[in-house]
Structure 1
Amino acid sequence: MCVRRRHVMVAAGVAVLGWGEWVNRRWSRTLVGDRGGGTEAVVVLGYRNPQATANVVNRWRVRVGLRSLTVDGAEGGRLIFSGGAVGSGVAEARVMAAYARSVLKFDGPLFLEDRSRTTWENITNVIPLLEDADRIKIASQPAHALKARAYLRRQRPDLAARLVRAEDYRFGEWTVVKPLLGLYGLRTLRVLRTDEREPRP
């Protein structure tokens, strides 16, 4: 009986972890297209940051932004950090930019949007920085990035047509917490319509 119970628990654990991988991968591939070439803008969304240095979530989001940037700066690639002073006196955008420059040694084009306090405002305020981009990527946790893409689609459908996938999902990365991110995502994505939550055929 103990052996059987152990097998059941292992199977349940594998199923939960597998669901976390599946749902985050699905969100990462929703509301994006497949456009190549041209200029590229990667928008990195900030997370509440009580201290003056980047916390673990913002550090991860910056790394996602950097690995999502596939176009060289000289060829038209740029990073845009977005987020105001929500958790402290320092804007999230500035905290992330400092981490990118000082720790990760990023020396490419970098723009700051440091007034936003919500995801809707993130999108509203970065739109002027996206007008001339041929490809747009949004870097955050997959559910949060999907929510932001849906908001861009509502505000500027013409720009949303330029959305492509960021490198926000990798199999085996944060596997243990992906089920929790999945549950949180299910709750936060309830504000979206069904057509905004389903991958394109």
Structure 2
Amino acid sequence: MRRRTGLAMAGATALVWGEWLNWRWSRSLVGSCGGATEAVVVLGYRNPRSTANFVNRWRVRAGIRSVCADGGKGTLVIFSGGATGSYGAEAQLMADYANSVLGFDGPVLLEDQSATTWENITNVIPLLEDVDRIKIVSQPAHALKARAYLRRQRPDLAEKLVRADDYRPGEWMIGKPLLASYGLWTLRGLKAEERKVAP
């Protein structure tokens, strides 16, 4: 009985820890910038097949709901990711999913050359110059890493970063402890100021 109780408590603690870390990461390096125009940058994930995989489908849905959160007026969606197999670029696969499955018909641009998160940011920068607000969409740890990279490459554009709708309480809950553990590993190179939570 004690063992089962201990395991249940450990499991509950892991779920709360994973939820808290993902919540925290979703609120780091973002502000409350206003303005009429925005770009929602959806980052791709390894996709060596002819259709968007599970992770990319979720990222597209999170990107589209990030548009809908503000009514979508003046919003440009940028899908970013190059080819990781023989089936085309992640950006194109995500755009196809957004259009054919989700029925999204808003303005879209593709950045289809990137192979790393650093390249994602480098290659979308020219597309961000004229917008008032920038949302970067991915799992919270990955999105934070991308925001930190934008801050390193173009601090002036990083001032335009606002929250995307890529964190929701309870979503991916069972997987969040694993995502949190992996996130801690991938974010180990970030500085303390790059982990600062927005007020």
Shared fold (TM-score, shorter chain, > 0.5): yes
Aligned residue for 1:41, secondary structure, equals strand
TM-score w.r.t. the length of structure 2 is 0.96
Counterpart CA distance in 1 for 2:82 and 2:71 is: 27
Aligned to 1:102: 100
Tell me if structure 2 keeps the 8 A contact 1:39–1:71: no
In 2 relative to 1, CA 105–140 (structure 1 residues): closer, same or farther, beyond 3 Å? same
Aligned to 1:8: 6
The total of aligned residue pairs comes to 198
Counterparts of 2:176 and 2:85 in 1: how far apart (Å)?
24
Q: Distance in 1 between matches of 2:78 and 2:192?
A: 29
Alignment of 1:175 onto 2:173: yes
Structure 2 stretches lacking a partner, 5+ long: none
Once the two structures are TM-superposed, the CA of residue 89 in structure 1 deviates from its matched residue by: 3.6
Does structure 2 conserve the Cα–Cα contact (< 8 Å) formed by 1:49 and 1:88? no
Out of 63, 80, 83, which is 2:81 matched to? 83
User: Which string of whole-angstrom CA distances, capped at 9 and with x for unpartnered residues, describes residues 133-152 of structure 1?
Assistant: 10100000000000000000
TM-score (norm 1): 0.95
**Structure 2 CA distance for partners of 1:63 and 1:127, relative to 1, 3 Å:** same
The answer on 1:148 being equivalent to 2:132 is: no
User: CA offsets per residue over residues 47-85 of structure 1, 9 Å max, x none?
Assistant: 000101000000000000000114455x31110000000
**Aligned CA-pair RMSD:** 1.2
Q: Which runs of 5 or more structure 1 residues have no equivalent in the other structure? A: none
